[in-house]
Structure 1
C-alpha cells in the first residue's frame, strides 16, 4: 500500500510537470529525474520510520513493557524472582 501511495505521488508530479510544460512554464529543478529522486527519498524515509517504530516497540523501552516482560519470564520460570 505504501508503494502505491508513492507511485501515485510520482504520477501526480509527472502529470504536473507535463501540464506546466504544456502551458509554457518550466523550472530547471523540476524534471523527471528530480521527481524520481523525491519519490525514492520519501519511500526510503517511510520505510525508515516504520522500522524505527518496530524496533522501538519491540525493545521493551517503557517501564510498563519492562514489567510485562519480567512477569512473562517469571511465569515461564526463566527468570528468578
Structure 2
C-alpha cells in the first residue's frame, strides 16, 4: 500500500486546462472564434494554471493574501470582459 497513488487536487485542474486549450485551438482553427471568446478561454487557462500552481504549493498554508491578489485581478478581468 505504500506505492499506491494518492489523489491530489491538481489532478482535476490539469485536464481542465487541456480541455480549455483544445476548445480554444479548435475554435481558432475552425474560424469560429471571436475576440471575446478567445480572451475568455485564455483567461480560463490562466486562471486554471494559477490554481494548479497554488494547489501544488499548498498556498492556503503559507501566504493566502499574496495568492489572493492574483485571483482578484482575474475576477476584475472577467468582469471587464462581460462589459465588452
Structure with a larger share of its residues in helix: 2
Same-fold call, TM > 0.5? no
TM bracket (short chain): 0.3 to 0.5
TM-score normalised to structure 2 length: 0.41
Greater RCO structure (CA 8 Å; 6+ sep): 2
TM-score normalised to structure 1 length: 0.42
